[in-house]
Amino acid sequence: MVERINFIERRPFTINYRIVGLLFTGVLVLQSVVYGYQATRIHWLEEKHAVLTVELSELREQQQKMLAVQAPQPVSNGSEQAQLIKALEASPVWSKLLGRVVQVMPANLWLTKIKTHNKDEKSEANAFLIEGKAREPELVAFFVQRLVQSGFFSHVLLTSSILDKPGVGAVFNFSINADVSPGGSF
């Protein structure tokens, strides 16, 4: 004979001491695992903190040694260091010089190359080569005029100005040679 199982009918859920004991034991085991994990992690972090504290104190000691100020040694006139200092003091401050070039540049004029070199072998004077592009030839003339007026350059000379791409998108390529003026107020 085949018995039929009715899935709709269920036994009522009853809480007895066995279920309560299992739940209590499960919660207790879970709490113990979490507590053990946290205790292990705290111990590991305390060890890491101790190691980092020792390394930090060593780094601070090294920093103090490195920052200890020693009295500067006097520079003799014939030494290489004195010659280097003299050469650096004689050269212009390039950041101010280039900043001035950017200040006097009109809109729609772009620099493509800036090159500096000694004017000749015997002289310590610096020469400047500036190449760029402009939309209109008047902008190049205005730029040359502003370079002369800046006081940073002398003997400013427009060496070439060529129309490139004639038509709607016309661009003028130009090249300017100039000497860095020793009288410029750096």
**Do 52 and 97 sit in the same domain of this protein?**
no
In a domain, 150, yes or no: yes
SS3 172: strand
Range of the domain at 168: 92-180
Residue 171: give its domain's CATH number. 3.30.70.2830
**Do 59 and 106 sit in the same domain of this protein?**
no
User: How many Cβ atoms sit within 10 Å of the Cβ of residue 162?
Assistant: 9
In a domain, 74, yes or no: no
Helices 94-104, 137-150: inter-axial angle, 10-degree rounding: 140
* pLDDT tens digit sequence for 51-92: 999 999 999 999 888 887 654 565 555 677 777 777 667 666
Q: How many domains does the chain have?
A: 2
In a domain, 76, yes or no: no
Q: Are 109 and 118 in contact (CB under 8 A)?
A: no
pLDDT for res 30: 97
pLDDT for res 44: 96
User: How many Cβ atoms sit within 10 Å of the Cβ of residue 143?
Assistant: 23
Two structure tokens written together for 15: 């809480």
**Do 102 and 173 sit in the same domain of this protein?**
yes
**Do 60 and 134 sit in the same domain of this protein?**
no
Cα R_g (the chain), whole angstroms: 41
Q: Is pLDDT larger for residue 121 or for residue 51?
A: 51
pTM: 0.50
pLDDT at 98 over 60: yes
Q: How confident is the model at residue 154 (pLDDT cuts 50, 70, 90)?
A: confident
Beta strands in 27-123 (DSSP E): 109-118
In a domain, 80, yes or no: no
**Do 63 and 28 sit in the same domain of this protein?**
yes
